[in-house]
Amino acid sequence: MTTVNQVFAQIDSLIPQPGETEAISLTQAMHRVLREPAMTSEDQPPFDRSSIDGYLVRADEPAKKVRLISTHSPGQSAPPLPPAGSAIRILTGSALPKHAGLIMQEDTRPAGADFIELLKKPDPTLIRLQGSHSRKGSILLPAPSLLQPGSITLLASLGITQPKVSRLPRVVHLVTGEELVDPNQNPAHGQIRDCNSILIRTLLTSFSATLVTQQRVGDDRKLFRQACRLSLATQPDILLLSGASSVGDHDHAGSVLEELGFTILLRQVSVRPGKPFILAQNNNTLAFGLPGNPLSHFVCFHLFVRRALLRLSGLPPPPFLSATLIPGVTITANPRETWWPCHLGSDEGSLTAQPLPWRDSSDLSSLAQTNGLLRVPAGQEARSPCEVLPTIPW
């Protein structure tokens, strides 16, 4: 049976390069992936400027009484250097001439009409020198980079208002299961609420993908095939199928995908939860057949679908971290590799992982507290230090 690491390698080989790029506005850039380095087109700061509200004098002006000759505000060209024995009232951010000196307001006192007394010599550290942050041509943000408020602000300061980013991966999600009803309905006997749809929708939002279509298609093979065929017309990067991936009477995913031109690359993974799992390819579309149970959905998404989304966007795979295991639920050895829901925390600066209880792959009770998956190798019990995969940014 295919191992988790083998699936990782296969996904990486299927997506050797990131997808297309597009230019977008900064207002649309949150959580997008920058694909071109952000480079300065000029020195930063572009001119010497004041870091304070205070007084501009000559750099060699001694502490003494000087005449106040004018006021200078930000947004204007640098004023001429004042003559010896005089000062200009200056505000934070104002451009400065060469050989300038600055005095903080609290280091002066009034000395009569239009005069102040300097109590100290000018302080050169109060001047933000041209190019002291970065020089023209410096790369301030490498590519690829996930854009966050700070990096978007940096782009604005550099005048990069249409950054080139990865196009959002296009995803279609089809949900099988005749027993599923909408969450706002009261299920009849034998029915359950569909939670896989909202799970996938929110996960895709978290990882910046476009959900092109999401549809509940039941178990009828003809309707399922039609829905798959129509979804392919939207040219998705990823086709997600919830359920229908095992070997039951209503598990049509494998055969339908083959009829529609997909090559089935694997049908099972040695993982718990999540053993019935399909990976298939048709030209530029990857299909993932996820096990129908929600916990299996959660695990397989974070292990495999998330990896594909990141590679399409140009980002590296999510990191595995080392954590100290906190005593809690006993995790016994299993022939399959287990990815156990856990709660990640910290203890004196060290990452900790506390296993959360779950009875079977349909048990959702632990997901509300889950922020990581604890890796337990096949045939072993969980032990410290353990390997974990955060399911939220960490």
- For β-strands 285-290 and 145-146, DSSP reports them as unpaired
Using CA atoms, how far apart are residues 23 and 161, in angstroms rounded to an integer? Answer: 9
Please tell me which residue, 38 or 252, carries the higher pLDDT value: 38
Q: How confident is the model at residue 128 (pLDDT cuts 50, 70, 90)?
A: very high
Q: Write down the pLDDT at residue 361.
A: 81
pLDDT digits (tens, 9 = 90+) for 167-185: 999 999 999 988 888 899 9
Q: Averaged over 82-97, what is the pLDDT?
A: 96
Homologous superfamily assigned to 21-43+133-166: Molybdopterin biosynthesis moea protein, domain 2 (3.90.105.10)
Looking at domain 49-128, its CATH architecture is Beta Complex (2.170)
Q: Averaged over 94-106, what is the pLDDT?
A: 95
Token look-up 């093979």 returns 221
Q: 289, 270, 277, 273: which is closest to 374 by C-alpha?
A: 273
pLDDT digits (tens, 9 = 90+) for 58-75: 999 999 999 999 999 999
Q: How confident is the model at residue 250 (pLDDT cuts 50, 70, 90)?
A: low
CB 351 within 8 A of CB 323: yes
Give percent helix, percent strand, percent coil of the chain, each to the nearest 5.
20, 35, 45
Q: Which helix (H) or strand (E) holds 322?
A: strand 321-325
Q: 81, 78, 131, 122: which is closest to 104 by C-alpha?
A: 122
With b for 16 or more beta-carbon neighbours within 10 A and e for fewer, the 116-152 pattern comes to bebeebbeeebbbebbeebeeeeebbebbbbbeeebb
- What topology is assigned to 321-390 in CATH? Beta-clip (2.40.340)
pLDDT at 216 over 60: yes
Cis ω before 276 (30° cut-off from 0): no
pLDDT digits (tens, 9 = 90+) for 297-345: 999 999 999 999 999 999 999 889 999 998 777 788 899 999 999 999 9
Q: Copy the structure tokens of residue 114.
A: 């239009």
Please tell me which residue, 292 or 52, carries the higher pLDDT value: 52
Residue at 240: amino acid letter: L
Q: What is the DSSP letter of 270?
A: S
Length of the chain: 394
What distances in angstroms separate CA 355 from CA 345, 385, 393, one per listed residue?
11, 13, 19
Return the number of other C-beta atoms located less than 10 Å from residue 77's C-beta.
10
Q: Treating both helix axes as pointing N-terminal to C-terminal, what angle do 306-313 and 4-14 enclose, rounded to 10 degrees?
A: 30
- For β-strands 372-376 and 337-347, DSSP reports them as antiparallel
pLDDT at 220 over 70: yes
Q: Contacts for 230-233 with beta carbons within 8 Å, 24 or more apart?
A: 231/172, 231/174, 232/172, 232/260, 232/282, 232/285
What distances in angstroms separate CA 171 from CA 92, 97, 109, 234, 272, one per listed residue?
49, 56, 67, 9, 25
pLDDT at 247 over 70: no
Q: What is the DSSP letter of 241?
A: E
Q: Write down the pLDDT at residue 59.
A: 96
CB 391 within 8 A of CB 319: no
Domain ranges of the chain: 4-19+168-313, 21-43+133-166, 49-128, 321-390
Q: Write down the pLDDT at residue 390.
A: 93
Q: Write down the pLDDT at residue 246.
A: 66
Specify the 3-state DSSP secondary structure of 82: coil
Looking at domain 4-19+168-313, its CATH architecture is 3-Layer(aba) Sandwich (3.40)
Scanning the chain, the segments in alpha helix (DSSP H) are 4-14, 149-157, 196-206, 221-232, 253-259, 294-300, 306-313
pTM score over 0.95:
no
What distances in angstroms separate CA 182 from CA 175, 195, 212, 220, 386, one per listed residue?
12, 8, 19, 18, 39
